[in-house]
Chain A
C-alpha cells in the first residue's frame, strides 16, 4: 500500500503511540481534582501545553486544547456571533458553515486560479477575517494580512509541521491546529488565542482550560499531541518536507504533465505546501481514477469529484479557483508524508497513464484540443 492521503489524516508516529501507551499505563486522575493523582495529571497537562505552545512560538497560557480543528474553528466563529465576518471562499467547511450560521453578514473573499486570496478585497468593516494558512485541497499558501481594524484568525491545520509557524511573526489573533495531521491522535487540537483577544467559550459547564473550554481533560490524547509536537520541533519536519518531499511533488507534477495527455495542475508549485499535489485529467472522473489506483496499485489518494462526496457536490475549492465542474470532477489529490520515496512516484506513473487512457477512451466527453 502507498498511502498518499496524509492531508486526510496521518498515521500515528511510533513516538506518539508509546507516549499514549505510557499515559494509559499511568494512574491518571482528573486534572480538576485536588488530590495527588489529580495534581500529577495537571502537571502532565501543563507540560504538554508548553510543548505545543513551543511549536508555534506561543505562550502556554494562549493555548486552549480542543477536540480538534473543527471545534477550534467553530469556537472562533462563535466569538463573533452577530458581527460581520469575512472568510476566504476556500476555507474548510468547519469555518464556512459556522461563519454562515453566526455572522450578521458574511463576506466570502474570492481567490485567484491558484487559490490565492485577493487581499485588496478584504472588507475592512468586518470584525473578524478568517483565512487559512494553507489550503487543504491545493496546498496553496495564503498571505496573512492583519490589520487593527479587524481580528484575524487562521486555520493552520494543514500547514502545521509542513512550514515553520510563528504566531508572533504572523501577528494573528487566533490560530487553529490539529494533532492528527502531524502524526498525533484524532480527537485533539488546539486553539491559539492571543493574549487580550476577545473570547467566549463554545462549550460551557466547567472550569477546564481556564474557563475557556468545559469538559474533562482528555489527557491521553493531549499527551499524544504533545509527543507529535515535540517530534515536529525536534526534527524540524518543515525542513525535511522542504528538502525531501517537495522534490517528489515537483517530479510527479512534471511527469504527469509530460506523460499524461490532457492533464493539468490545480496546485501551484510556488508558494505552496511541499506535500500536496492536486491534478485533473480531462474527461476522466475522479472517483473512478481513485478506485483504479487503489485496486490496481494499492495507491491511496482522494478526489474532489462530486461522486465521492457525501453531499454530491463537486469541491467548492476547485469551483472557486477553476470555476469548471469537469475540472473538479476529474481531480485527484496526492498528499505525501515524510515516508514518501522516489520509488512511489515510479509506481504511480507505472499505472496512472493507462488508467487515464482507458477512462478518457471510454468517456462520453470529447476532449477539446
Chain B
C-alpha cells in the first residue's frame, strides 16, 4: 500500500490479453475439486510466497481432453494459468510437456518482468500432473 511499502507495482503494466484473462478467466474450477472428474492433478507454488496453482487434467488416448485449474495469486498468476489451460487443451501429453513459461507469456502478449517468475508457474503444475498420470498408468 502505499506511500509506503505498499507502493504498488503499476497494474496497468499488464497487457490487454492479461487483463482479459484476469477478468474473464477460462476453464477455472469453482469450489471443490470433486466437481471435476479428473484423471491427473499437479500442484506448484506456495501460498506463503503469494502464488499457488493446481491443474486438473482429463486424459483420453494420450491426449488432454479437458483442463481445469485453481489459482491463489495475483492478476498475472490467474491470467497465466487461464492462458495455460487454453494452450494445453487438446494437446497430446508430449506436446503439453513441452509448453514453457515463455510460451505462456507469449500467448498473453508479454508479462511485466517482475511478475514473470512468480506467476508463470502453471506449466510446472501441468508437468507434475502428466508425470503422475504416466506413473499411474
Contact = CB atoms under 8 A, between A and B. Distances in A.
Interface string A301-327: 011111111111111110000000110
B1 interface: yes
Interface in A177-224: 181
By size class, the interface of chain A is 35 or more
Contacts of B50: 285, 305-307, 312, 314, 329
Given A137-B4, A362-B28, A285 B53 contact: no
Contacts of A317: 5
Given A287-B11, A364-B43, A364-B70, A136 B3 contact: yes
A290 B30 CA distance: 20
Given A326-B47, A364-B53, A308 B6 contact: yes
A329 B1 CA distance: 11
Nearest to A296: B23
Contacts of B73: 285, 288, 307
Nearest to A308: B8
B6 A302 contact: yes
Nearest to B68: A362
A7 B54 CA distance: 36
A310 B9 contact: yes
Contacts of B23: 292, 295-296
A361 interface: yes
Interface in A91-138: 92-93, 136-137
Interface in B1-48: 1-9, 11, 19, 22-23, 25, 28-31, 43, 45, 47-48
A333 B7 CA distance: 12
Question: Which label, helix, strand, loop or mixed, suits the secondary structure of the B interface?
Answer: mixed
A290 B78 CA distance: 14
A137 B8 CA distance: 13
B74 A288 contact: yes
Interface in B86-124: 114, 118
Contact of B71 (A295, A302, A362): A362
B11 A291 contact: yes
Given A7-B1, A329-B47, A290 B11 contact: yes
B7 A285 contact: no
B22 A291 contact: yes
A314 to B, nearest CB: 8
A283 B52 CA distance: 11
A188 to B, nearest CB: 15
A61 interface: no
B16 to A, nearest CB: 11
Contact of B74 (A181, A305, A358): A305
B28 to A, nearest CB: 5
A291 B47 CA distance: 19
B48 A92 contact: no
Given A7-B3, A307-B50, A315-B5, A362 B75 contact: no
Contacts of B54: 364
Contacts of B70: 362-364
A181 B23 CA distance: 32
A351 to B, nearest CB: 12
Given A136-B1, A308-B1, A365-B72, 4 more contacts: A136-B3, A287-B75, A304-B1, A325-B48
